[in-house]
Chain A
Amino acid sequence: DIQMTQSPSTLSASVGDRVTITCRASQSINIWLAWYQQKPGKAPKLLIYRASALQSGVPSRFSGSGSGTEFTLTISSLQPDDFATYYCQQYKSSRTFGQGTKVEIK
């Protein structure tokens, strides 16, 4: 099975900050990686697919990069609505999620 490891587990940041979350795969997954945002009590929301493709309707301050085993999600200027938990997911072989990164207010 492919394991996904996110870092950090928790990130404290302020509105306007540039935020970067890293996701590493235990083996190459090419570009078959997605990023989701989840708020408490809500379903996850797709932000990025194919490592860097922005899902329709998602603000352009979100971007994804990487290939192979290392990937990043960047929020260029953190907004109040962005405080949430973020998950990466590989879909190269079956499906596996990272453990999540909580972005909290500093």
Chain B
Amino acid sequence: QVQVVQSGAEVKTPGASVKVSCKASGYTFTRHYVHWVRQAPGQGLEWMGMINPSDGYRVYAQKFQGRVTMTWDTSASTVYLELSRLRYDDSAVFFCAREGIHDSDDAFDIWGQGTMVTVSS
């Protein structure tokens, strides 16, 4: 079935980097943009950016510019999110989500299960 599966929970110290993976299956990997969304404990959803696995085109939210890198591996049908210079307030669940193709821009129709990242000394 169509799904995206994320890597497991991470614990990092302040100042470190974290890399989260999102593996797609059940659909043509290069046909759908993939987005990343952050959710701090008890808080709402925050869009971080997106990547086109077809050509690597990326757009990052201004808030994360300079700290976030999104990459992809077509052979593995996987996209990656790397967040550097971690702070305590980066502790959150990170979701990847597939963008649909009803329109040229679309909603997120398939979500990963989420990856908890804890920043702690």
Contacts and interface: CB of A to CB of B under 8 A. Distances in A.
**A and B found bound together:** yes
A interface secondary structure, majority: loop
Interface in B48-101: 50, 59, 61-62, 95, 97, 100
Contact of A95 (B35, B44, B109, B113): B35
Contacts of A43: 95, 97, 111-114
Contacts of A96: 47
Interface residues of B, number: 24
A23 to B, nearest CB: 13
B108 A97 contact: no
Given A32-B105, A44-B108, A49-B106, A97 B46 contact: yes
10 contacts: A43-B95, A44-B37, A44-B97, A46-B100, A46-B109, A49-B106, A87-B45, A91-B106, A96-B47, A97-B47
Interface of B: 35, 37, 44-47, 50, 59, 61-62, 95, 97, 100, 102-103, 105-109, 111-114
